[in-house]
Amino acid sequence: MKIINWIDARFPLTPFIKHELTEYKTPANLNYWWNFGSLAGFILMLQIITGLFLAMHYKADTNMAFDSVEYIMREVNFGWLIRYLHSTGAAAFFAILYIHILRGLYYGSYRKPREMLWWSGIALLFLVMGAAFMGYLLPWGQMSFWGAQVITNLFGVIPFIGDDLVLLLRGDFAVGDATLTRFFALHYLIPFLIVGLVVIHLVTLHWVKSTNPSGHSLQRESDAVPFHPYYTVKDLFGLMVFLLVFLSFVFFSPGSFIEADNYIPANPLQTPAHIVPEWYFLPFYAILRAIPNLELGVVAMVASILILAFMPYLDRSRIPGGGTNRPIYRLMFLAFLIDIVVLTYVGKKPPEGMLVPIGQVATLVYFGFFAAMPFVSKWEERWLLSKSVPGPVQENLDKPITLGKR
Ligand code: HEM
């Protein structure tokens, strides 16, 4: 095409698309768990676009915020759809991200040389959490208000600067109009920071290349396929299946992801009987409450995410493919998954009766997974080698997992 030739003479458009997309070499054996990265990218775009249209009608003012959301629902053309896509999209974003992270954990995607890729992902997770927390205040319902009250309070435990930090976050001595306007400004800003970080995430990915379910080095030309059409089609198929599930919620059960109390306008004089965060924060909330001391609880809650960053060093096994080739790790991973479900349940319920010790044990199991990793992984490696696992495992132990020549 003439126009493309004109651009190519001035800007490397076609070479870039060929190198990074159409002809980009990808392992031939990626399974469906590798779809979740592109799904995360899709939902990020959806959140930005629907958010933009919501912002055209939303009023960041405590006297008008709640009503402006109702106005969007009732009066704006397709306002209900835009809002439900955005609120359900937030929940879907976390579901996708958690699967994306768990896939990485299971297959050992954090291992050398992918440490920086893994860390850029953790930074992304923190940013997405920040954006979701700030967005939740905007409808100015009861749960918005009291959730922000509880979470901003937590920053008060930081030594020396805690009180000043809470004041800075709230913009006032209590959650109020100043908090709402600054949360709105930041909620609008953070997604663009996320986009920037996703670009870094993908540049890092294309430098170190994807790993694969077997974890073996893919050195032969036949081990890799061009991204297009193989993975463009597979990603599109994944997107269709995802949309089927996602749109079923948007059209038939959009209230599933909005707390009933949030249909009541915020009232600073009336605390709801039970303040719960959204489902995606529940495991961390359970860890916070499992520890009777607030300061230590906050430390444990932050540590429960940060500890992921140490996985490249905690996992000392050199058996490729993570859970695929490591039976003991597979069991540990299963226990970890069940533990997260238990923590989610405990986080949802009031901390009473047996749920208190169950939450504490589940917290111990959560951190136990990481604490046991160095020992179990080394021991498991020795055990597997002593059982003389077939050749390729041993041959690959010291080779970095790369995809042919760069
Ligand atoms: C906005 C959020 C994110 C987006 C848009 C995103 C996007 C992607 C994409 C498109 C891929 C390639 C396809 C795939 O392997 O699934 C990928 C790979 C990867 N991502 Fe993410 N990601 C995000 C967050 C995260 C998080 C939170 C983590 C971990 C804490 C993470 C860790 C990784 C790793 C380790 C890989 C390489 C996987 C492998 O080759 O085995 N990402 N990401």
Pinpoint the residues of the chain covered by CATH 1.20.810.10. Answer: 18-275
- Ligand 1 centroid–CA 97 distance in Å is 8
Position 405 scores a pLDDT of: 44
Structure tokens at 169: 């976050």
CB distance 100 to ligand 1 below 6 Å: yes
Please say if the pLDDT value at position 399 is more than 80: no
Q: What is the pLDDT of residues 213-267, one digit of tens each?
A: 998 867 677 789 999 999 999 999 999 999 999 999 999 999 998 888 999 999 9
Angle in degrees, CA 352, 285, 47, rounded to 5: 135
- Report, as an integer, the average pLDDT of 284-302: 96
Q: What is the pLDDT of residues 165-211, one digit of tens each?
A: 999 999 999 999 999 999 999 999 999 999 999 999 999 999 999 99
Position 118 scores a pLDDT of: 98
Of 216, 234, 304, 381, catalytic: 234
Element (H, E) at 224: strand 224-226
CB distance 109 to ligand 1 below 6 Å: yes
**Strand 224-226 relative to strand 25-27: parallel, antiparallel, unpaired?**
antiparallel
What is 18-275's CATH number, 3.40.50.300, 1.10.1530.10, 1.10.260.40, 1.20.810.10?
A: 1.20.810.10
- Residue nearest (by alpha carbon) to ligand 1 atom 11: 37
Q: Are 348 and 289 in contact (CB under 8 A)?
A: no
Q: What is the pLDDT of residues 1-54, one digit of tens each?
A: 899 999 999 999 999 999 999 999 999 999 999 999 999 999 999 999 999 999
- Residue nearest (by alpha carbon) to ligand 1 atom 31: 121
Say what percent of the chain tops pLDDT 70. 95
Residue 281 dihedral angles phi and psi, to the nearest 5°: -100, -5
Residues with Cβ within 8 Å of 90's Cβ and at least 6 positions away in sequence, in order, are 47, 132, 135, 257, 278
User: Model confidence at 76, in pLDDT bands (50, 70, 90)?
Assistant: very high
Q: How far apart are CA 59 and CA 281, in angstroms?
A: 26
How many residues are present in the chain? 406
Structure tokens at 260: 């009933």
Question: Relative to the CA of 122, which ligand 1 atom is closest?
Answer: 30
Position 404 scores a pLDDT of: 43
User: Model confidence at 368, in pLDDT bands (50, 70, 90)?
Assistant: very high
- Ligand 1 centroid–CA 122 distance in Å is 10
Q: What is the pLDDT of residues 140-158, one digit of tens each?
A: 999 999 999 999 999 999 9
- Ligand 1 centroid–CA 264 distance in Å is 37
* Mutate which of 125, 201, 234 for ligand 1 pocket (most atoms within 8 A of beta carbon): 201
Residue 228 dihedral angles phi and psi, to the nearest 5°: -105, 130
> Is the bond preceding residue 229 a cis peptide, omega within 30 degrees?
yes
Residues with Cβ within 8 Å of 155's Cβ and at least 6 positions away in sequence, in order, are 162, 165, 166, 169
Of 259, 261, 278, 381, catalytic: 278
Q: How far apart are CA 187 and CA 84, in angstroms?
A: 17
> Is the bond preceding residue 277 a cis peptide, omega within 30 degrees?
no
Question: Relative to the CA of 119, which ligand 1 atom is closest?
Answer: 30
CB distance 286 to ligand 1 below 6 Å: no
Q: How far apart are CA 367 and CA 30, in angstroms?
A: 30
- Ligand 1 centroid–CA 334 distance in Å is 21
Position 406 scores a pLDDT of: 39
Residues with Cβ within 8 Å of 61's Cβ and at least 6 positions away in sequence, in order, are 177, 180, 181
CB distance 209 to ligand 1 below 6 Å: no
Element (H, E) at 379: helix 355-386
Residue 141 dihedral angles phi and psi, to the nearest 5°: -90, 180
Q: What is the pLDDT of residues 319-366, one digit of tens each?
A: 988 999 999 999 999 999 999 999 999 999 999 999 999 999 999 999
- Ligand 1 centroid–CA 374 distance in Å is 24
